[in-house]
């Protein structure tokens, strides 16, 4: 059993008012792996009040080097607790060990370091010189200031990674914060509070609310006038609702939403078959916003690509769903609800006329948890719903294209615009395609576009704003112009 996920409010790690808890269900077994405090509206109010007070009544937002030192200490504590974090994401998130040792935990910890390293590059004050304007001579400054109280609402798929991306950036920027993790992954949020307390983060500056109800606590943060900014990662549908609900208080919004990214392998790509084989969707059972879940291959090499995929899926059949294998990157999906949702897309794909090349079944023989096979549809048309909608499971769809223009057209024919992947033997050709993709990040010829010092975020309905790097900290800042009479 995992430790109980507690609330962290005004510097105190505690149970919910009234002591209510809920079950934390483990995806590998479908059984209870822990308990979590089930926050009441009273608790959410207390967290917002504490964050507001800490922002308005302390000097937290103006002590830049102190925050830098404190966040470095916080990062060190997170790193010192690496093994604990790995156990949390394995049991609570259903992460396989291979995924825990990459994006889930290792990537999250590197991300904290990346933000700490980016912090000194923030320009807190810029001298814009003297100017005569409307008859007034002034010496002018542009200063950056902390936005205020930030509500962070996060998903269950890579919870530590997202929590760290928001909390370390927001606290470095001098905001005070209330973190509301997803109901399925409460401990990945609660541990952030526990370690913040240990690091000595002043009371009220950071607060964590866990709740079984997916909407109430989040909507309280979004609608409360005491909260200045919402940083949200999750589905596009909930992102739209947050924009609507945040409207009356004109909330600053920073939204990291869904994706349906295209992996374009051009006809001259070196190691064509091997590249196609590597494109199977397996990492964390496909539950990643940035995973390229649409594979675009040239029609001239389509049969070869399908053959390579058949081989790849056959070879992968025994390499997933092992709790103890450190090389395994795919375990179960998060919940029964998610399993049903993903399986409904498998049925939809069949009805839409795509050909199921591999997988497509749930796997009760893997254990009592929420397992389904890595799945691949070929002969997919980009108009099909399985090509347009985010499935968020281990499902790849394969679409043929005629030429580079057609590949770009198909890739951009999506409401999403998070990431893209391009491969070609001719770097300039690959770059021409990459520049035409309407996405926030692109990997070219095996490059990695996700790194703690690079901004990450979406075009179109994949989001607003950028996380990570200097840009990820700047999302939490306001800009003020000051003119001093000369």
Task: Please list the active-site residues.
Answer: 256, 289
The reply to whether 238 sits near ligand NAD by the rule CB under 6 A is yes
- The stretch near ligand NAD (CB under 6 A) out of 74-82, 250-258, 320-328, 442-450 is 250-258
**Of 10, 14, 2, nearest in space to 210 by CA:** 14
The reply to whether 392 sits near ligand NAD by the rule CB under 6 A is yes
User: Minimum CB separation from ligand NAD for residue 212, in Å?
Assistant: 10
Could you give the C-alpha distances from 376 to 156, 343, 365, 399, in angstroms and in order?
24, 12, 21, 11
Among positions 194, 390, 404, 474, the unique one binding ligand NAD when judged by CB under 6 A = 390
Residue nearest to ligand NAD (CB): 218
Using the minimum distance from each CB to ligand NAD, give the nearer residue, 183 or 400: 183
Using the minimum distance from each CB to ligand NAD, give the nearer residue, 257 or 408: 257
Measured CA to CA, the distance from residue 131 to residue 111 in angstroms comes to 41
Among positions 61, 104, 146, 157, the unique one binding ligand NAD when judged by CB under 6 A = 157
The reply to whether 233 sits near ligand NAD by the rule CB under 6 A is yes
- Count of residues of this chain found to bind ligand NAD when the rule CB under 6 A is applied: 31
User: Minimum CB separation from ligand NAD for residue 65, in Å?
Assistant: 29
Among positions 28, 55, 60, 156, the unique one binding ligand NAD when judged by CB under 6 A = 156
For 265, counting Cβ atoms within 10 Å of its Cβ (0-12 exposed, 13-18 middle, 19+ buried), the class is buried
User: Minimum CB separation from ligand NAD for residue 254, in Å?
Assistant: 11
Residue ranges of alpha helices (H) inside 230-271 are: 236-246
The reply to whether 235 sits near ligand NAD by the rule CB under 6 A is yes
- The stretch near ligand NAD (CB under 6 A) out of 47-55, 147-155, 374-382, 476-484 is 147-155
The reply to whether 242 sits near ligand NAD by the rule CB under 6 A is yes
The reply to whether 34 sits near ligand NAD by the rule CB under 6 A is no
Using the minimum distance from each CB to ligand NAD, give the nearer residue, 61 or 375: 375
In this structure, the strands spanning 12-14 and 136-146 are: unpaired
Tell me how far apart the 2 most distant CA atoms of the chain are, in Å.
80
Measured CA to CA, the distance from residue 199 to residue 71 in angstroms comes to 8
- The string of DSSP letters for 60-114 reads GGG-HHHHHHHHHHHHHHHHHTHHHHHHHIIIII---HHHIIIIIIIIHHHHHHH
User: Minimum CB separation from ligand NAD for residue 410, in Å?
Assistant: 20
Consecutive H or E run containing 389: none
Q: What's phi and psi for 476, nearest 5 deg?
A: -95, 15
- DSSP tag of 450: -
Among positions 54, 103, 182, 397, the unique one binding ligand NAD when judged by CB under 6 A = 182
Rounded to the nearest 10 degrees, what angle do helices 216-223 and 41-57 cross at? 30
The reply to whether 289 sits near ligand NAD by the rule CB under 6 A is yes
Q: What's phi and psi for 130, nearest 5 deg?
A: -95, 145
Could you give the C-alpha distances from 34 to 14, 90, 401, 408, in angstroms and in order?
16, 13, 48, 46
3-state secondary structure of 258: coil
The reply to whether 259 sits near ligand NAD by the rule CB under 6 A is yes
Q: Enumerate residues 407-446 that contact ligand NAD by CB under 6 A.
A: 418
- The stretch near ligand NAD (CB under 6 A) out of 131-139, 148-156, 265-273, 354-362 is 148-156
Note the residues at the interface with ligand NAD (CB under 6 A): 153-158, 162, 180, 182-183, 214-215, 218-219, 222, 233-235, 238, 241-242, 256-259, 289, 390, 392, 418, 458, 463
């Amino acid at each position: 059993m995992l430790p109980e996920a507690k609330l962290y409010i005004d510097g105190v790690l505690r149970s919910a008012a009234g002591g209510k808890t809920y079950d934390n269900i483990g995806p590998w077994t479908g059984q209870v792996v822990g308990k979590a405090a089930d926050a009441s509206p009273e608790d959410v109010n207390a967290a917002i009040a504490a964050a507001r007070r800490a922002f308005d009544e302390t000097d937290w937002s103006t002590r830049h080097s102190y925050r830098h030192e404190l966040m470095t200490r916080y990062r060190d504590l997170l790193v010192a607790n690496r093994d604990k974090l790995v156990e949390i994401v394995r049991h609570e998130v259903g992460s396989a060990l291979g995924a825990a040792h990459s994006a889930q935990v290792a990537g999250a910890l590197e991300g904290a370091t990346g933000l700490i390293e980016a912090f000194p590059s923030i320009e807190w004050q810029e001298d814009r010189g003297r100017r005569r304007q409307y008859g007034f001579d002034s010496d002018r400054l542009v200063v950056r200031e902390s936005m205020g109280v930030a509500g962070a609402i996060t998903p269950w798929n890579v919870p530590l990674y997202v929590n760290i991306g928001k909390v370390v950036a927001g606290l470095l920027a001098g905001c005070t914060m209330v973190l509301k993790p997803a109901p399925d992954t409460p401990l990945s949020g609660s541990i952030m509070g526990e370690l913040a307390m240990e690091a000595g983060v002043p009371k009220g500056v950071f607060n964590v609310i866990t709740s079984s109800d997916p909407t109430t606590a989040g909507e309280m943060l979004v609608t409360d006038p005491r909260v200045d900014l919402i940083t949200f990662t999750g589905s596009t549908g909930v992102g739209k609702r947050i924009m609507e609900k945040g409207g009356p208080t004109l909330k600053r919004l920073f939204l990291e939403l869904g994706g349906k990214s295209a992996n374009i392998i051009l006809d001259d790509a070196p190691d064509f078959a091997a590249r196609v084989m590597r494109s199977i969707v397996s990492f964390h059972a496909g539950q990643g916003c940035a995973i390229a879940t649409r594979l675009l291959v040239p029609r001239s090499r389509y049969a070869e690509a399908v053959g390579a995929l058949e081989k790849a899926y056959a070879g992968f059949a025994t390499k997933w769903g092992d709790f103890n294998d450190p090389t395994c990157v795919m375990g179960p999906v998060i919940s029964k609800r998610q399993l049903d949702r993903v399986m409904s897309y498998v049925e939809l794909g069949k009805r839409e006329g795509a050909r199921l090349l591999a997988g497509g079944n749930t796997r009760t023989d893997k254990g009592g948890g929420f397992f389904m096979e890595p799945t691949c549809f070929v002969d997919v048309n980009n108009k099909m719903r399985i090509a347009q909608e985010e499935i968020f499971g281990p499902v790849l769809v394969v679409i043929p294209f005629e030429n580079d223009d057609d590949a770009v057209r198909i890739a951009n024919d999506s409401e999403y615009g998070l990431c893209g992947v391009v491969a070609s033997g001719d770097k300039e050709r690959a770059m021409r395609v990459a520049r035409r993709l309407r996405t926030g990040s692109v990997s070219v010829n095996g490059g990695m576009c996700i790194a703690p010092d690079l901004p990450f975020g979406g075009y179109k309905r994949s989001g607003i704003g950028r996380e990570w790097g200097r840009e990820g900290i700047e999302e939490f800042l306001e800009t003020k112009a000051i003119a001093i009479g000369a």
